[in-house]
């Protein structure tokens, strides 16, 4: 554990005495905030889907509520809880949170590549439109962000020191 002061630029001393790079603190707040937003959205969608399912006119349209739960509500709620606790763990400098963040970022990169390949297979003409070009650009931006952040958490010496036992 490091016990220096925070006079260095770009670091913050935690209450535990650990020195944490400022970017990790910013990232932890961002992830915890996104986790809370995701959890709230999941709960709102749950309420909306339940009210739609109870409406006799709309229930005919929404015949497959299980699919909606599996694709929207459950991932939002579980993802929100996961991201909140990973953000909180990063804030506290816990080793498991660094490993979880790296894993989630690399998983995000893999899913980004998978989504691009799936889009190319499902709709090959999509990429010949301006919407398709923007889709490709945003996909590569997302991929660069995921891989860049994962690399930061893996290779940055300040991060390694902050999360050392």
| Residue-by-residue DSSP string for 33-81 | HHHHHHHHHHHHHHHHHHHHHHSHHHHHH---HHHHIIIIIHHHHHHHH
* pLDDT tens string 83-120: 999 999 999 999 999 999 999 999 999 999 998 888 88
* pLDDT tens string 47-57: 887 777 777 76
Residues forming beta bridges with residue 21, ordered by sequence position: 11
Task: Please state the pTM of the whole predicted model.
Answer: 0.84
Distance CA 76, CA 95 (A): 25
Distance CA 1, CA 15 (A): 12
Domain locations in the chain as residue ranges: 1-93, 94-165
């Amino acid at each position: 554990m490091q016990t220096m002061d925070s006079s260095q630029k770009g670091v913050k001393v935690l209450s535990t005495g650990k020195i944490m790079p400022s970017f990790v603190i910013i990232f932890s707040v961002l992830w915890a905030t996104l986790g809370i937003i995701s959890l709230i959205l999941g709960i709102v969608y749950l309420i909306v889907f339940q009210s739609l399912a109870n409406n006799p006119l709309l229930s005919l349209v929404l015949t497959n509520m299980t699919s909606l739960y599996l694709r929207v509500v459950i991932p939002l709620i579980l993802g929100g809880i996961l991201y909140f606790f990973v953000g909180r763990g990063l804030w506290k400098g816990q080793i498991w949170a660094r490993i979880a963040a790296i894993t989630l970022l690399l998983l995000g990169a893999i899913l980004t590549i998978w989504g691009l390949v799936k889009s190319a297979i499902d709709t090959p003409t999509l990429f010949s439109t301006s919407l398709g070009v923007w889709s490709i650009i945003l996909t590569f931006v997302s991929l660069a962000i995921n891989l860049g952040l994962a690399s930061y958490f893996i290779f940055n010496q300040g991060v390694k020191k902050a999360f050392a036992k």
